[in-house]
Chain A
Amino acid sequence: MYTQALNTSDADDRNIEDAAHAAAFQARIDAEERIEPNDWMPAAYRKTLTRQISQHAHSEIVGMLPEGNWITRAPSLRRKAALLAKVQDECGHGLYLYAAAETLGASREELVDQMLAGKAKYSSIFNYPTLTWADIGVIGWLVDGAAIMNQIPLCRCSYGPYARAMIRVCKEESFHQRQGYEIMLTLARGSEEQKTMAQDALNRWWWPVLMMFGPPDQVSQHSDTSTRWKIKRFSNDELRQKFVDATVPQAQYLGLTIPDPGMKQNPATGHWEYSAIDWEEFKQVLAGNGPCNRDRMAARRKAHDDGAWVREAAQAYAEKRKRRQVAQAAE
C-alpha cells in the first residue's frame, strides 16, 4: 500500500487525538487553509472523507453501466462517439477519486471490495434503468446537472486532494451536461415519437434526480460535522432548491413538463416550490431494493470475478520480469 509512504514525517503524531490538535486543525479549516495528506487530521475527518470520496468514486464506476447500456445502440455515430467518450471520462473520474481516497491511507482494492460486498454505497440514481435513448439525454442533462450542483462547492472543500479532483471532474461534467441537454433539445424539436420519448424519460428520472441531493436537512446524519469541517458548503435542501430553480426554465425551453403538478413559483422568493419527495422510495433504493441494485452489483461483481485471472496473470508476469531483471543484473 504505497500511500503509507506519505505519512513518514508525521507518523508518530497521526494517532494522537487531543484538544490542542483538534483546535489547531479547526483553526486551519476556519482560515480556509487546505488540509493535505501529511497534515494531522481528526480520525473522524479522515473516516468521513474516505467514506465520501470512495462512495463518489464507486458512483462514477457504477454510473458507467446505465449509460454503457446504450453505447451499442446509440442512434447515430456522432452520438455514439460522444457517449463512449463520456463513459470513458467517468472511468477516469473514478480513478482520480480512488487516488484522492488513497491519500487518506485506504487502498483502492479494499475500497472496491467494500463496495462489492455491499458495505459501501454509491449514488442512488444509478439503480434506475435506462429504457430508451432519451434516458441518455436526461442523464446528461439532469443527473450530471445535479452532480455539478453538488460538486462545484466541493472544489472549495477543505481537503486539498478532493478539491483538486473536483476541479478536474467538474470541467468534464459540464461538458457532459451540455451534450445531454443537446440530446434533449434534438428530441424535443423532433418527431412526435421523439417528443413523447423525451417527456417519458423526464417523468421517470425527475424524482430520482431530486433524491440525489440526499435526505432533507432535518434528517441528514453527516451534515453537522461536514459543515464545520468545510467538506460540505451547502445543505442538501439548499442545493436541491438551486437545482430545481436552474432546471425549470431549461425544461420550459424544451417544451417539456416537469412531472410535479403541485410545483409553483413563489412570487416573493422567486424559488420554484416542489411537492413532497417520496422518501420511502429513496430509503428502499438505498437499502438495495431499487429497480437495478441487484443487476448493477451483479455486473460489477462479475467483471471483478471474471477478471481475476487477468489480474493474476499481470501480477505473475510482473514478478517474473522483476526476477529476470535481478538475475540479469547479478550476472
Chain B
Amino acid sequence: MATASIQVSETPLVLYTLRRADDALILGHRLSEWCGHAPILEEDMALANMALDLLGQARELYSYAAEVEGKGNDEDKLAYLRDVRQYRNLLLLEQPNGDFARTMVRQLFYSAFADLYWRAMMKSSDATLAAIAAKSEKESAYHLRHSSEWIVRLGDGTEESHARAQTAVDDLWAFTGEMFEVDAGERALFDAGIAVDPAGLRSQWLDTVSGVVGEATLVLPSNDWMQQGGRDGRHSEHLGHLLSELQSMQRTFPGVAW
C-alpha cells in the first residue's frame, strides 16, 4: 500500500546519489524553517534563496536516483516515503538551526565542502552527475561566500556575537569528519571515475574553513573526535521530528497527486 515506506534497491550508484540528495533536502529544510523569522529581511531572502537552491539540487538528485534504480520511484516517493533509518544525509545537516550563528557555522562547514566537492564532480564520467555538479557548484560558491562573510561579521563583531559564533563552531565541529568518510561501495565509484574521493578534499576544506574562522578571530576546537552514522541511517534524535513534519501530508493522504 502507498502508506508504507518504500523499499529502495540501493546499488552503489543509487545509494551514492541518495546520500547527496538527502544532504541537500535536509539542509534546505532546515534553512526554510527560518522563513519569516530571520534577523533582517535581507537575510530572510538569502536563507530562502539558499534553501531553494538546495531543494533544486535535491530534486535533480532524487530524480536521477529514481531513474538509475528503475523501480518506479520518483523524487517525491524518495523524499516522502523513506523513514529515518533509510535517510542517508550527514548528521551535520540535520542539526537544529539554533541561533543565527549556529545556522551560519553549519552552512560554512557544509558549503566549504560542497563547493570543492561539486567542482570536483564536474569531471565525473557520469554525465548526469557532472551536469548536476556544474549547476550546484555555482550555487554552493554563493552559499560559501554568504556564510563566510557572516562568520567574519559575527566572530569579529561584538563580544556576544563572538561568543555565540565560537560556541557554534565548538558544538558543530564533531559533525565535520563525516563529510570525508567513504564506504566500499563508494570506492568502486571512485575507481570508475563516477565519483570523487572526498578524503582528497579535506586539506583544502580545512584551509578554507581555517581561513574564515581565523579572520573571524575564532578558533577551531582541538578535540578531533568525530561523530558518524548519518550515511548509514544512524541519525541524531532530530531527524525523526524533521521527517514527521516534512512527510505528514504524504503519509496522511497517500497516493494522491498534489
Contacts and interface: CB of A to CB of B under 8 A. Distances in A.
Contacts of B99: 306
B75 A314 contact: no
A331 interface: no
Interface residues of A, number: 48
Contact of B256 (A73, A183, A190): A190
A176 to B, nearest CB: 14
Given A79-B258, A80-B55, A307 B35 contact: no
B48 A307 contact: no
A312 B36 contact: no
Contacts of B75: 77
Contact of B41 (A71, A95, A302): A95
Nearest to B78: A77
B8 interface: no
Interface stretch (A85-93, A206-214, A222-230): A85-93
A278 interface: no
B104 to A, nearest CB: 9
B249 A317 contact: no
Q: How large, as a class, is the contact surface on chain B?
A: 35 or more
Contact of B257 (A87, A186, A308, A311): A186
B161 interface: yes
Interface stretch (A3-11, A61-69, A167-175): A61-69
**Chain B binding site: helix, strand, loop or mixed by DSSP?**
helix
A194 B253 contact: yes
Nearest to A72: B245
B29 interface: yes
A262 interface: no
B59 interface: yes
Nearest to B161: A313
B245 A73 contact: yes
Contacts of A133: 249, 258
A320 B154 CA distance: 12
B46 to A, nearest CB: 9
A308 B158 CA distance: 12
B183 interface: no
9 contacts: A71-B33, A72-B33, A75-B249, A75-B258, A91-B41, A98-B41, A190-B256, A306-B37, A310-B43
Given A64-B36, A311-B40, 11 more contacts: A84-B35, A84-B55, A91-B44, A95-B41, A194-B253, A303-B36, A306-B39, A307-B43, A309-B164, A310-B39, A316-B157
